[in-house]
Structure 1
Amino acid sequence: MAQVRIFTDSTSDLPEELLQRYQIEVVPLYVIFEDQSYLDRVDIHAEQLFDFVAHTGKLPKTAAPSPGDFERAFAPFIEADEDIVFIGLSSELSSTIQNARIAAESFPDGRIRVIDSRNLSTGIGVLVVKAAQAALEGRSPSEIQAIVTSFIDKIEVSFIIDTLEYLHKGGRCSSVQAFFGSLLKIRPIVQVIQGAMQLTDKIRGKREKALNQLLQNALAFKDDMDTDFMFITHAQAHDEAAYVKEQFELHTNVKNVFLSETGCVVSSHCGPHTLGIVFAKK
């Protein structure tokens, strides 16, 4: 019986430790600075993106892998008689899923299953790790697909954003909103709802207040959390991420609280000092 290889894209923001542990393959998105194109998490990382924005005042563009990129990534594993389950960035946000499906049509029916995560960052990562655990248990592609699909609507993703600058540059809030947000020190909380990013809270005042609100919002689900693992995902917020990790270890029964850093795609939308709490509900 063929083995099952789990694939994802670079927006899943999974730490290298987990990619290696579960032998997960990653297809990178593109980050485009003016006339230069880079592979996310391969040629460029979030810190370099933030430097570019600081120096130019412009956001880079991002682009999905092409169908050809996916074909080249998938082919060696199909030739090695491994089936593939790919879990990627929400189709509400990118053509990544569409291009993976086009590529899958180039291979024999049933060998590649493409799953729309309806999520981003480690919201995808939770599904990918669930799939990888099932693959290690010897589950079939159809069983893995069913497990992943059953969790899609149970993923909770919320981020605190330190500045409205990146949302403004990306066209997600107006100049007036950005100006008054800066003036009033408004710190947005963003959630993933129905596959898209939505502003759900606007906390006025010190960052500690917004961070505490984010933490309390998540801890309200503590009795309903899947206790296998969760993620604290951040962009240049190491100390706060360590603090939030400690709080979940103290106040919940989650066995593994993993820290991860955002790649360029999430970073280009949210900016530096973003911090997210990501978990699955039972």
Structure 2
Amino acid sequence: MDKICISADSTFDMTPEMAERYEIKVIPSYVRMDETDYFDYPDIKQEALFEYYSQTKKLPQTAAANPMEYEKFFIECLAGHDSVVHIAKSAWMSCCYENAMIAAQKLKNVYVVDSTTISGGSALLALETVKQKEFLDAIDLQEHLFDFREKISGSFIVETVEYLHEGGRCSTLTYFGASAMQIKPSLIIRDGRLSVGKKYMGSYRRCLRDYIESTLLPLEENERDILVVAHAIQDEALLNFAIGQIEGKHYFKEICKMKIGAAVACHGGPNVFGVFLIKK
């Protein structure tokens, strides 16, 4: 059986400790604040992004690694391995996948998988890759992941549309309307793209409660393996409230909590909260 190296774009939002535990190699993207570029992983914390925006009213800019950087990264991954299976951020959301493919075509035995998702969804795909790599060679593993990614469901709820507005993802009219009416929209990941889902009204605590209830309502009451929560909740009490609501359902053997990285934080803003799971 091939000795496979699993790698991923940093936008899968696993902590460095988790990535090390599962032996996943991570390639960072970039965050630009003023004229300085930083690695988004593991250098920049979400709090620094929010503080920058609060002080300057300018969104940090994000950028993928370029093809040459991917090529160098894959060569390093191949050292001591027969092949590489790389989990990329959705091709509809970034050029990460495109740049990784350009690099992979110059090398042998590098297999890139468009996760068609981001954050906790990409993390679930990476975990499945780790689970199956002992039983499948790299080509079969890639094919398995093409099927498995269709089972991953993910969405977010945002407290404010201000960051979406500043990033050009919602109109000024929508921004003022949502702010005036206390509307908190959900963002659903479907076919690799983000689209607006159900809208909630009222305090964020109430909207968060209703979002969780609505998201988990279709699930059967039999226990599932894992749910990933990817978030930028700044208030620990609010996070505990949300996690407690999920735990109270007794649907999942494990609830994995991850702080979102720059790619989601720069658009979702403080207190964005996402839920990712594997559909039966």
Alignment pair present for 1:204 and 2:201: yes
1:259 Cα offset (Å): 0.5
Structure 2 residue identity aligned to 1:203: Y
Question: Gaps (5+ residues) in structure 1?
Answer: none
| Secondary structure of residue in 2 paired with 1:107 | coil
Q: Please give the alpha-carbon distance, in whole angstroms, between the structure 1 residues aligned to 2:242 and 2:202.
A: 19
Q: Give the AA of the match of 2:101.
A: R
1:187-202 matches, cutoff 5 A: 187-202=184-199
Which letter maps to 1:37?
A: D
- Report the CA distance between 1:225 and its aligned residue: 8.0
Q: Do structure 1's residue 45 and structure 2's residue 42 form an aligned pair?
A: no
Cα displacement (A) at 1:150: 1.6
Distance 1:2 1:266, change over 3 A: same
SS in 1 for 2:65: coil
TM-score, with structure 2 as normaliser? 0.94
Q: 1:184 corresponds to which residue?
A: 181
What are the superposed Cα offsets for residues 96-119 of structure 1, whole Å, 9 maximum, x if unpaired?
0011011111212xx111011111
Is 1:144–2:138 an aligned residue pair? Answer: no
How far apart, in 2, do the equivalents of 1:226 and 1:15 lie? Answer: 26
1:34 shift after superposition:
2.7
Q: Any residues of structure 2 matched to 1:241-260 within 5 Å, and which?
A: 241-260=239-258
Question: After alignment, is 137-146 or 91-100 more displaced?
Answer: 137-146
Secondary structure at the counterpart of residue 86 of structure 1: strand
Give the whole-Å Cα distance in 2 for the aligned partners of 1:174 and 1:225: 41
Root-mean-square deviation over aligned CA pairs: 1.7
2:163 aligns with: 166
User: How far did residue 156 of structure 1 move?
Assistant: 1.3
- How far apart in 1 are the matches of 2:239 and 2:142? 31
Question: 1:162 aligns to what SS in structure 2?
Answer: coil
Percent sequence identity is 31
| Aligned match of 1:124 | 122
> 1:78 offset after TM fit, Å?
1.7
The answer to whether the 8 Å contact 1:241/1:259 transfers is no
Query: Which piece of structure 1 moves more, 272-281 or 238-247?
Result: 238-247
Whether the 8 Å contact between 1:188 and 1:199 is mirrored in structure 2 is yes
C-alpha separation in 2, matches of 1:101 and 1:61: 23
SS of 1:70's partner is helix
Q: Check 1:225–1:87 CA distance in 2 against 1; reply closer, same or farther (3 A cut).
A: farther
Q: Does the CA-based 8 Å contact 1:9-1:29 persist in structure 2?
A: yes
Once residues 255 and 16 of structure 2 are traced to their aligned partners in structure 1, the CA distance between those partners, rounded to angstroms, is 15
Deviation at 1:43, TM superposition (A): 2.6
Query: Does the aligned pair in 1 maintain the 2:8–2:88 contact within 8 Å?
Result: yes
Give me the whole-angstrom Cα distance separating, in 2, the residues matched to 1:193 and 1:93.
Answer: 12
Label 1:239 to 1:232 Cα distance change in 2 as closer, same or farther (>3 A): farther
Q: State the alpha-carbon separation in 2 of the partners of residues 121 and 76 from structure 1.
A: 24
- Write the letter of the residue equivalent to 2:21: R
The CA distance in 2 between the partners of 1:269 and 1:34, in whole Å, is 17
1:226 CA drift (Å): 7.8
Provide the rounded CA distance (Å) in 1 between the counterparts of 2:43 and 2:19. Answer: 18
* Separation in structure 2 between the aligned mates of residue 208 and residue 261 of structure 1, nearest angstrom: 19
Q: Distance in 1 between matches of 2:222 and 2:127?
A: 16
Give distance in 1, aligned partners of 2:52 and 2:229. 25
Report the Cα distance in structure 2 between the residues aligned to 1:144 and 1:88, rounded to whole angstroms: 15
Provide the rounded CA distance (Å) in 2 between the counterparts of 1:3 and 1:60: 39
Distance 1:147 1:239 in 2: 40
Q: Which amino acid aligns with 1:268?
A: C
Cα 1:45–1:143, aligned 2, differ >3 Å: closer, same or farther?
same
Give TM-score scaled by structure 1 length: 0.93
- 8 Å contact from structure 2 (residues 233, 239) kept in 1: no
Change (3 A) 1:147 1:242: farther
